Structure 1
């Protein structure tokens, strides 16, 4: 499909620079079939049915943004995928000043050697020393806010909490599964009381999620792989939800992509551990999920293509036009949509 079909105009003032407070006070656009309804996130128990199950991503964002030097050159690195115990694949700013074999000093006694430059311009970074890389990043790294926020304000101490979900447990993501940022313990208790269950899986979100689609046709776009895991108990739980007539509602496109990667043509969700580079565009037949809660996405992005595949392009164009006209806040710290085909 032509990528231009997924373009739209978004006024810059619609981009949220801070999350709603409290988190579950964010607005939520309910898209059910082709109908639209305005709500807020804490209305979620009334928007779902007893027996439904929300699926959260329990990945934890690491301080994956690094600033360093190679000689006199300033080098920026955004880690996006672990490739070994001490090796991470990284997107590099000022990459023309970096060669394979060069060492980068990130300060705080943290350094890494660049190697294995890929076609997309990324490098592998091998971190020096014996300390766990996670400890090195805590010293030298900072929270990797999305570029559309980082371009408007610096990262600060609030982001260390604001950019983690209440489910964050498994360290390894360089971007938050932002739909789950809206959840609070009180909201989860209300959902439980309404008979709506929840489960967790792990998908370590990569910085590739922010990359624009530069191809003119979706067939020519290459997705970056991300590592994920659904254990046997979770797979069994989700299959039991379906067997009992409930719906599996992914919270975030990360949860959706992993469930769909694990689901077979027969609709059965199986245990999964490994990389997925699934790319969902209109025409895709969903096998594992029955709905999605997600934030509002970038024009021409793979994520807007995904929601269009779920609900239909015309429906999502109408939903986004409604959201823009109605003052909804967009992107990672913005408002939510609940998509029920």
Structure 2
């Protein structure tokens, strides 16, 4: 994995629209064994070729942060669990994780969340939520998008949605797809690049914890499996948009790399030692030092390519986090 320090000056504090850019005008750093090159995201169609497939996550972002009544804390709704409970995270005044103790948290609208048992070590809890509305509707009425300290002010939920979002369920935005716009999608299709949708509802990924991924719900439809399999047979490249798309697609792939229709909870952790069976390239944001996402990137790109990309991104002032710039890793 690349070793680097992230200067605070490279944290994106607001959406690109607040910096005077369209969402598709963020910077794009392309890396492959041939080296690195600098672009705007609007140049993506020139970097791909006819027959390539972009695999996109159509999960929509929830307003997953709710205040706890009477105390300076917030509850982050992470993942709906198979037994109907929710994995949740409690955060304190400074918005850092609070391990807390089991108990009942009062929420707006006379709702409650009962913390029952740890879901991950020290951070997430399994909780029973009681509310007058189903949780997604409850969050729409009482919640706000999850916001970490580097984002200095509130932004509406629309700022956290991608153009592909059509199935709400993610605690945090599948942000690699945020730069896509209708005009870029149109140009890609005109250039012969195909799109293959899937869903993975991503949970909260604490910047402080850098913990391993935990199970998340995904769905790979039959049409996407067919598009990917046909493209691979014809020599096309499969390029995942975001680490969530990698995890979902690889969860639906057999040992020989053939993708099948599949849905459910995946606990797959993609690492360099495990490798990838389907994905050839990846469009992704820039990840923090020592983040577990870097293990997944190392399964797609060569170590030298990753090191070169991150060194160049720091040197040239690329921006990190969900409102930042993007990195295209090609074979």
TM-score after normalising by structure 1: 0.88
Higher deviation after alignment, 323-332 or 308-317: 308-317
Alpha-carbon distance in structure 2 between the residues aligned to 1:30 and 1:324? 14
Of 169, 172, 184, the residue aligned with 2:169 is 172
Question: In structure 1, what is the equivalent of residue 5 of structure 2?
Answer: 9
Q: What stretches of structure 2 of length at least 5 have no aligned partner?
A: 93-97
Pairs aligned (count): 321
Q: What CA RMSD, in Å, does the superposition of the two structures yield over aligned residues?
A: 2.0
Contact kept, 8 Å, 2:90 with 2:100, in 1: the verdict is no
Give the drift of 1:98: 3.7
Q: Deviations over 1:269-304 (max 9, x none)?
A: 111211122222223332111111111111101112
Structure 1 distance, partners of 2:83, 2:165, is: 21
The separation in 1 between residues aligned to 2:326 and 2:141, in whole angstroms, is 33
Match of 1:216 in 2: none
Contact 2:212 2:292 in 1 (8 A): no
Query: CA deviation digits over 1:173-229, x for unaligned, max 9?
Result: 01111110000000000001111110110000111364533xxxxxxx643111111
Q: 1:111 deviation in Å?
A: 2.5
Counterparts of residues 158-197 of structure 1 (less than 5 Å): 160-197=157-194
Do 1:28 and 1:335's aligned partners in 2 also have CA atoms closer than 8 Å?
A: yes
1:125 Cα shift? Answer: 2.5
Alignment partner of 2:276: what SS? coil
What SS does the aligned partner of 1:250 have? strand
Offset of 1:119 from its aligned partner?
Answer: 5.0
1:313 aligns with 2:313: no
- Deviation for aligned residue 1:76: 2.5
Indicate whether 1:19 and 2:15 are aligned.
Answer: yes
Q: Separation in 2 of the partners of 1:10 and 1:119?
A: 26
Residue 204 of structure 1 is matched in structure 2 by: 201
More divergent stretch after superposition (28-37 vs 276-285)? 276-285
Contact 1:208 1:224 (C-alpha < 8 Å) held by counterparts = no
Q: Which has the higher helix share?
A: 1
The answer as to whether partners of 2:280 and 2:300 remain within 8 angstroms in 1 is: no
**CA distances 1:302-321 after superposition (whole Å, capped 9, x unpaired):** 11222123212232112111
Match of 1:88 in 2: 86
Look up the match of 1:225: 215
| Aligned counterparts, 1:278-317, within 5 A | 278-317=268-307
Q: Say which SS state the counterpart of residue 166 (structure 1) adopts.
A: coil
Q: Tell me, what secondary structure is at the counterpart of 2:110? A: coil
- The corresponding residue for 2:95 is none
